[in-house]
Structure formats: structure tokens, C-alpha cells
Amino acid sequence: MAKKKNGEVVHELKLPQGNEVVGRVSQALGASNFKVRCADGYERLCSIPGRLKRDFWIKEGDLVLVRPWVVQTNERGDIVWRYSLGDAELLKKKGIPVVD
């Protein structure tokens, strides 16, 4: 999210923490469900948690941050953040794997 600080817009870059991975939305399935190709090699069925549904809109090709579920870790996950277009380059510079 962008914050204004002394009239300037400051962009926040959320980095993966813990078991979170970066992924790219490959297919929108409807009802806040998406197929996401993740940087760790898995394709997960991901959803947007209810508390975040109105915070961002996601479409095919978007770069997202996925938090895998504790159960079905390699198959399911929650989308917790959507990156903007320029964030992919910033993530690569920080050494975080990004799905192209």
C-alpha cells in the first residue's frame, strides 16, 4: 500500500517471511479462488481470506505472495498480498525467486 509522507508517496514492499512463497496467478477460478504457480515448484489452489477480499483485486498474470496451508501444504494456500508491476524487479534484486 502507498502511504503519504511529507507529500511523497512511499511504496511498501512486503517480503516473504517464514514459509511464504512468491507465485504468479495462472488461472482465475471464481469465488476468490485461483491457481497459482509458486516459486518453489508447486501449483497451488489458493484463495483470498475473507478479511482481505476487499483490499485488492487479482487477475491472471499477477504476482502474489502465498502462505501455504499447514495441511495440504503443497496443494493449497492463501493469497496474502498482491505485488505491483514494478515489484518483480525489486524482489529479484533482493534475491527472492520470482516466477516468470
Domain ranges for the chain? 18-93
Instruction: Assign domain 18-93 to a CATH class.
Output: mainly beta
pLDDT at 6 over 80: no
CA distance 76 to 44: 5
CA distance 77 to 55: 18
Q: Vertex 61, ends 57 and 64: CA angle to 5°? A: 60
In the chain, what's the furthest Cα-to-Cα distance?
Answer: 45
Cut 0.75: pTM above it: yes
| 25-48 residue pLDDT tens | 999 998 899 999 999 999 999 999
What's the grid cell of residue 70? 499447514
pLDDT at 2 over 80: no
